[in-house]
Chain A
């Protein structure tokens, strides 16, 4: 049990997918203008990550390895993730058009989101068991959402500030993201994950 907890904590804080591994930066910067949108994106990514991990784990150990076609790993994983994202897109468009409107292009972009594919591949590399894989996925997703929400809160506040002209918009967002990942660096070495 302690082992799982360590994986979870390390995925959320120590090797946070966005702030430590620097994966999934484009939605991190693109969708963090408002906390609600960031939360929506976080939920969408959590769903895709968790289900993708489950499906890719099965494909890896019951399809790719038995048939000895591990080299197809990336394509198969992307195929799964893409269809999952398409599913999420339809659900969100139906259930909350406002969120769909505010997420905009970044919703289909989850397919190419390196955090999602990265997670699936990392899962295999670390030879995690099925349960460890799911916990790792959950940790990664929560870490991603946590980083998104923190960053969205900061950006909402920075939008109210008289930032000098040359730093307005993405520039100040990048500076803030840098400082945020600096703060997360404190967790380095917290867990030997």
Chain B
């Protein structure tokens, strides 16, 4: 009995000695708060906060001792938790969602030429500025769909990118990946958008797309505060987006669409009918 206690005690003591010595020799100091924050972050390494991946962001928050940027995918829930870890005032970012400002799939928008090669929008854009006659339209080759870390983008059977308001966390990777800058960020609760990205004259737009904006100014006349025509292309003024839906029926080319009513044709996202408030999204 004594022997067992003594022997184990001796081994333990010896081990403790070597470890104590080693601990001093190989000391490396790591801030535990950094790991705690890292756990909270979604881990998509999307870079929307402007830092190299989530570990970069966590390091910044701990070292910088102030929250210099928000984490869009994390949203306000994560930001509040980080704030109380760091004992700082939480900064809330207005939740944003990405929207593909185009409805010109293969049926509606005409081709400039038959493209052969990589199914990648950036590669196709390099071949004579893309296979579509419209200079700003969605090429529909799925680059944004592959880049999205949250699976929020789908390609309709007729090659049009559509982004689900429910799944999109606003990380912005798709915006950076699109060679034609068709995808833009919009406030979460703004559901009505002018789905067009072409600044050509109306007559030209009519020639190559059935659902393009021909800058006929009807929407602006209908709801002056909610629409703005700039360089021959209408856009929704998101400050007062509530009364934007009124002009949806009036648009002659059906270019304006309210996602609360329906997504572009061919899209499988049906959650539009469910009225989405900020709280449901956070769950």
Give yes or no for direct A-B contact (beta carbon below 8 Å).
yes
Residues of A participating in the B interface, judged by any CB pair closer than 8 Å: 59, 63-64, 67-69, 72, 75-76, 79-80, 82-83, 86-87, 90-91, 93-94, 97
7 nearest A-B residue pairs (beta carbon): A83-B15, A67-B3, A94-B26, A90-B26, A69-B4, A63-B7, A93-B28
User: Which one, B3, B11, B22, B27, contacts A79 given CB within 8 A?
Assistant: B11
Which residues from chain A contact B26 at a C-beta distance below 8 Å? Answer: 90-91, 93-94
The docked-state distance in angstroms from the alpha carbon of A64 to that of B3 is 9
CA of A79 to CA of B16, assembled, Å: 10
A59 close to B28 (CB less than 8 A): no
| Alpha-carbon distance between A69 and B19 when the two chains are bound, in angstroms | 26
Q: Once the chains are docked, how many angstroms separate the CA of A75 from the CA of B11?
A: 11
- Is B19 a contact of A83 with CB atoms below 8 Å? yes
In the complex, what's the smallest C-beta–C-beta distance from B211 to chain A, in angstroms? 33
**Is B8 located at the chain interface by the 8 A CB criterion?**
yes
A93-B15 Cα distance, complex, nearest whole Å: 19
| CB-based nearest A residue for B17 | A83
> Are B8 and A79 touching (Cβ within 8 A)?
yes
B contacts with A, residue count (CB < 8 A): 15
Residues of B within 8 A of A64 (CB): 7
Q: How far is the CA of A69 from the CA of B1 in the complex (A)?
A: 8
* Residues of B close to A90: CB separation below 8 A: 22-23, 26
CB proximity of A95 to chain B, nearest CB, Å: 8
- Inter-chain contact A69/B11, CB cutoff 8 Å: no
Complex contacts, A83 vs chain B, CB 8 Å: 15-16, 18-19
Contacts of A86 in B (CB 8 A): 19, 22
Nearest residue (CB) in B for A55 is B11
Q: Which residues of A contact B11 (CB under 8 A)?
A: 59, 63, 76, 79-80
Contacts of B12 in A (CB 8 A): 79
Identify 20 residue pairs between A and B in the complex whose beta-carbon atoms are under 8 Å apart, listed by A's number: A63-B11, A64-B7, A67-B7, A69-B3, A72-B4, A72-B7, A79-B8, A79-B11, A79-B12, A80-B11, A82-B15, A83-B15, A83-B16, A83-B18, A83-B19, A86-B22, A87-B19, A87-B22, A91-B26, A94-B26
Given the known A-B contacts A67-B3, A86-B19, A90-B22, are A76 and B8 also in contact in the complex, defined by CB atoms under 8 Å? Answer: yes
Contact mask for chain B residues 19-33; partner A; CB cutoff 8 A; 1 contact, 0 none: 100110011100000
Interface of A is mostly: helix
A87 to chain B, nearest CB (A): 5
**Known contacts A63-B7, A83-B19, then 9 further A-B pairs from the complex at CB < 8 Å, ordered by chain A residue:** A67-B3, A67-B7, A69-B7, A79-B12, A83-B15, A86-B19, A90-B26, A91-B22, A93-B26
A63 and B7 CA atoms in complex are apart in Å by 7
Q: Provide the residues of chain A in CB contact with B22, threshold 8 Å.
A: 86-87, 90-91
Contacts of A80 in B (CB 8 A): 11, 15
A188 to B211, CA, bound (A): 69
Residues from chain B with Cβ under 8 Å of A93 in the complex: 26, 28
B18 contact set on A, CB distance < 8 A: 83, 87
Q: How far does the alpha carbon of A160 sit from the alpha carbon of B24 in the complex, in Å?
A: 43
The CA-CA distance from A79 to B11 in the complex, in Å, is 8
| Chain A minimum-CB-distance residue to B2 | A67
Q: Which residue of A lies closest to B4 (CB)?
A: A69
**Nearest CB of A to B29, in Å:** 11
Q: Which partner residue on chain B sits nearest A100 by CB separation?
A: B28
- Supposing A83-B18, A86-B19 touch, asked if A76 and B7 sit within 8 A by C-beta, the answer is yes
**Cα–Cα, bound, A75→B15 (Å):** 14
CB distance from A187 to the nearest CB of B (A): 37
Inter-chain contacts of B4 with A (CB < 8 A): 67, 69, 72
Q: How far, in angstroms, from A86 to B19 measured CA to CA in the complex?
A: 7
- Give min CB distance, A98 to chain B, whole Å: 12
